[in-house]
């Protein structure tokens, strides 16, 4: 049953067998598989964010938030720039299987983020 659910949750068609790298707190993390959650694919399509932009941000982006206790895998929020747009990518790491899972990607907005796009706005 889990395998059936997994197939529904991930687009697993990309990058099998290719060692890539993702930025993680000052060090590079090697991974063999880059997986996209279906939600990520939908968000990328709706927001016109390409695979190339997401991959660029995974390789070169800045980690602005760390979610080490997120279930089922620790995740990070990365900020990067692609085609003049600031883009946030949330990615999780399944280190036991050398997988990086793209959870979502979006263009941050000034109503929720400071102008540097790194700091969440505080509402009082």
3-state secondary structure of 71: coil
Q: At what angle do helices 51-60 and 38-46 cross, to 10 degrees?
A: 110
The whole-angstrom separation of Cα 84 and Cα 104 is 19
For residue 29, the model assigns a pLDDT of 54
**CATH top-level class for 15-106?**
alpha beta
Q: What is the pLDDT of residues 104-123, one digit of tens each?
A: 999 999 999 999 999 999 87
Predicted confidence band at 124 (pLDDT cuts at 50, 70, 90)?
low
- 37: tokens are 């959650």
What is the reported pTM? 0.76
For residue 114, the model assigns a pLDDT of 94
């Amino acid at each position: 049953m889990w395998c059936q659910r997994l197939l529904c949750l991930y687009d697993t068609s990309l990058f099998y067998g290719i060692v890539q790298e993702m930025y993680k707190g000052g060090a590079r993390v090697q991974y063999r598989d880059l997986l996209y959650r279906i939600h990520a694919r939908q968000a990328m399509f709706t927001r016109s964010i390409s695979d190339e932009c997401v991959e660029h941000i995974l390789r070169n982006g800045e980690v602005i938030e760390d979610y080490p206790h997120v279930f089922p895998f620790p995740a990070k929020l990365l900020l990067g720039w692609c085609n003049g747009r600031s883009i946030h990518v949330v990615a999780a790491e399944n280190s036991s299987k050398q997988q990086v899972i793209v959870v979502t990607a979006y263009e941050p907005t000034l109503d929720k983020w400071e102008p540097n796009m790194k700091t969440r706005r505080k509402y009082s």
